[in-house]
Structure 1
Amino acid sequence: MAVSEQLKILCVKLNISVSELARLSGKSPQAFSQKMKRESFTVDELKQIAESSGCKYIGAFELPNGERVEY
């Protein structure tokens, strides 16, 4: 699933708009929207978005045997 889709779902679950999520994370709604269109968020930006919205961002690779490689 694309990051932009994940962010939209996050907004629905938090009952906020994408513009509000942008403001919470310290970005203008316009800049945030452009990053969503380009799918150009860095891992650090995603962590910051999660933190500012009271969530936790977890990124990992999971091998077929269930083992995880996390950053």
Structure 2
Amino acid sequence: MKANTAEKIRFLKNRRNVTLGQIAEVTEQTRQNFSNKLKRDDFRESELAAIAEFLGCELKISFIDKETGEEI
């Protein structure tokens, strides 16, 4: 099974030994609001970019054509 975005953030949070509060601060929101977004797996692209930067990762968002397998 593929991990969703929230699961990937939790994995990296634990790997980097950072708190939800620290990530929430980077995205300029409360810890509670960020926690709710994790539960809903609902993030804006700008938030994902900030989280990736903070966690020392490159963010890659792409569309894959299901018919051809081509990355768009």
Structure (1 or 2) with the greater strand fraction:
1
Output one character per residue of 1:13-59: Cα deviation in whole Å (capped at 9) or x when no partner. 21112222212332211110111111110222211211233322111
Q: Which runs of 5+ in 1 are unaligned?
A: none
TM-score of the superposed pair, with normalisation by structure 2: 0.72
Preserved CA contact (<8 Å) 1:25 1:52: no
Output the aligned Cα RMSD. 2.0
The count of aligned residue pairs is 69
TM-score scaled by structure 1?
0.73
Q: How does 1:1-71 map to 2 (within 5 A)?
A: 1-62=3-64, 67-69=70-72
Is the 8 Å Cα contact of residues 24 and 53 (structure 1) preserved in structure 2?
A: no
Q: What are structure 2's unaligned runs of at least 5 residues? A: none
> Hey, what's the Cα distance between the residues in 1 that align with 2:16 and 2:69?
30
